[in-house]
Every structure is written in C-alpha cells, then in structure tokens.
C-alpha cells in the first residue's frame, strides 16, 4: 500500500493511493496516520479495504508529511561507502546516530527555507524507515518485523552549522523545513528488499546524487537493531538511513550549496518523488 496524508498544515487527513494513482480518503476508517494511530494492526485492516468504495480526492491538494505527530526523527550518518569517501571520512565501525528535530518535518513538496545567513545548506536523499510497533533491544533477525513501511527523506543539512559552530551535528540538521518526508509511506509488502533500491537527487535539473541502498555500510535491519539498543522505538518514529555520494559538500574542487530560487527533485525506486523550492528567510 501507498499511504499518505493530505491537506493544509494542521488539518491533514489520511489517504491511500489506488492502482490508478487516485487519492482515496481514509477519514472514515482512521482519524490520521500518526504516532497515535499507526500500527501493524491498522495496516492489516487497511489492506482488506475495497478502495473503490472510498471517496476520491482531487490531486491538486497539498501532500502533507506521510506521518504525523512523529515522536523521534533519528538519522544515521556516513552510512554509504562512497559518501564517506567523498567527505574524506573513515568508514564508521558503528552507526553514527544524530537527530533531526520534529519541527523540521514538512511535506514532500513544501518549500525549504534557508536559515538567516546560511551559505552552506546542502541536500541528501535518504531511505526513511517508519516504525510500526514498539520495541527495544531488537535482534537483527526480528528488526524488519517492526517496520510499518518506508519513505523518501531529504536530510537537508547546513554544513557550517553542522561542523564549524561547535557541538554535535544536530544544530546543522534540524533547522525548520530541513526534513521533508514522503510523499508516501509505502508498506513493507511493496518492498521486497530494502537493500536493492535506487535513489537519486537533482538540483535545477542537474543530477548530483545517484546510488543504490546496496552501498549501505549498515543495512536496514542492522540499523534498527543497533538504534534499539540505546532507546525504545515507537510507532511513527522515523529513521533516515544515510545518503549516497553526490552531496554539495563533496563536489571538488569547489563545493556547491543551495541558493534561494533553486529546485530540488529527488526520489527512491518504488517510494515516490519529492520536489522542493528553496526560499530564503532573510
């Protein structure tokens, strides 16, 4: 299933895509797709629906973040071999964990705001894991059974804030609008192997990133298990799993960063496409 949320900010409603790419409203079935309603039991119920009986929603609606009321937005750094190489970093021996604040979350096609004075804002297409069942101290063998589905994440990053302003990476990762998720939450039955997905990103039509999740240093099940050793995971939590090479920071000899007026377009095989216009807060 391809689940989504639609509507203006603060009034989002749940929906599902049918086999003709039509948006079908789920409001009579569930109040929202968020941390209070999302569960593996709900997904089983939704799979049994006759989508032809559900109201059709006009495609001109805003596509909202695919999960609401996210509790934790966890990210894994330097998790693609080629990306680690382009940044000059050593291959991590254990997953690098950092956070994006939930206030960074926006819809897949919402505008991205450059923070005041920002000169080093960068792009990162990533596979996002959406948790569907509470768990802690999970084994790798059991990890995938806790997944509700997957989504596209753009882990937008202000590199100066991240690396030159002291402290941890978080202050460069969690600025407002720095976490587009969606357009869809694609359930696990649609994804045969999360380690065989192509992902890409373009800025103003030029392709900078093109990779495959088979280049991950730590796999999806390894990441879920590892993270769960340090915190419990709850339904609606999102884990972004790292980015392939081609980020602006890695361009030699002169890195390239986002500017107001540019457009990012990115996607992952089977998970849909995002598109954001970059605007300035100045």
Domain boundaries, the chain: 2-64, 73-280
pLDDT one-digit tens code per residue, 29-72: 999 999 999 999 999 999 999 999 999 999 999 999 999 999 99
pLDDT one-digit tens code per residue, 186-218: 999 999 999 999 999 999 999 999 999 999 999
Identify whether the C-beta of residue 120 lies closer than 8 Å to the C-beta of residue 160: yes
Concatenating the DSSP letter of every residue in 98-166 gives EE--GGGEE-TTSPEEEPTT---EE--EEEEEEE-S-BSS--HHHHGGGEEEEEEEE--EEHHHHHTSS
Q: What's the mean per-residue pLDDT of the chain?
A: 96
**Closest Cα partner for 179 from 67, 61, 89?**
67
Binned at pLDDT 50, 70 and 90, residue 165 comes out as confident
pLDDT one-digit tens code per residue, 92-113: 999 999 999 999 999 999 999 9
| b/e map 203-227, b = 16+ CB within 10 Å | beeeebbebebebbbbbbbbbbbbb
Mean pLDDT value across residues 219-232: 98
Residues facing residue 212 across a β-bridge = 198
The sheet carrying 263-268 orders its strands as: 112-114, 272-280, 263-268, 198-203, 206-212
Report angle CA 170, 92, 192 to the nearest 5 degrees: 90
Per cent of the chain over pLDDT 70 is 100
pLDDT above 90: residue 85 = no
* Residue 103 CA to its chain's centroid (Å): 14
pLDDT on residue 282: 67
pLDDT one-digit tens code per residue, 111-153: 999 999 899 999 999 999 999 999 999 999 999 999 999 999 9
Separation between Cα atoms, residue 230 and residue 226, nearest integer Å: 8
CATH architecture of 73-280: Alpha-Beta Complex (3.90)
């Amino acid at each position: 299933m391809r689940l989504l949320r639609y509507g203006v900010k603060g009034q989002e409603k749940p929906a599902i895509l049918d086999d003709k790419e039509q948006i079908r409203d789920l409001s009579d079935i569930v109040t929202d797709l968020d941390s209070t309603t999302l569960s593996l039991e709900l997904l089983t119920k939704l799979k049994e629906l006759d989508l032809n009986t559900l109201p059709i929603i006009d495609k001109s609606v805003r596509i909202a973040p695919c999960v609401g009321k996210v509790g934790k937005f966890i990210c894994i750094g330097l998790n693609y071999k080629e990306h680690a190489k382009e940044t000059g970093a050593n291959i991590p021996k254990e997953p690098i964990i950092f956070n994006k604040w939930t206030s960074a979350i926006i819809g897949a096609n919402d505008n991205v705001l450059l923070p005041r004075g920002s000169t080093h804002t960068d792009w990162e297409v990533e596979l996002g894991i959406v948790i569907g069942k509470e768990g802690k101290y999970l084994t790798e063998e059991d990890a995938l059974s806790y997944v509700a589905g997957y989504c596209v994440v753009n882990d937008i990053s202000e590199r100066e804030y991240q690396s030159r302003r002291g402290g941890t990476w978080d202050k460069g990762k969690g600025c407002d609008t720095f976490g587009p998720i969606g357009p869809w939450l694609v359930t696990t039955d649609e994804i045969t192997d999360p380690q065989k997905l192509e992902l890409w990103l373009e800025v103003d039509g030029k392709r900078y990133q093109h990779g495959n999740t088979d280049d991950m240093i730590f796999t999806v099940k390894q990441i879920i298990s590892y993270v769960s050793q340090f915190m419990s995971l709850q339904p609606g939590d999102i884990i972004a799993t790292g980015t392939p090479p081609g980020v602006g920071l890695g361009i030699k000899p002169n890195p390239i960063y986002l500017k107001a007026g540019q457009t990012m377009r990115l996607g992952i095989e089977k998970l849909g496409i995002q598109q954001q216009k970059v605007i300035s807060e100045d």
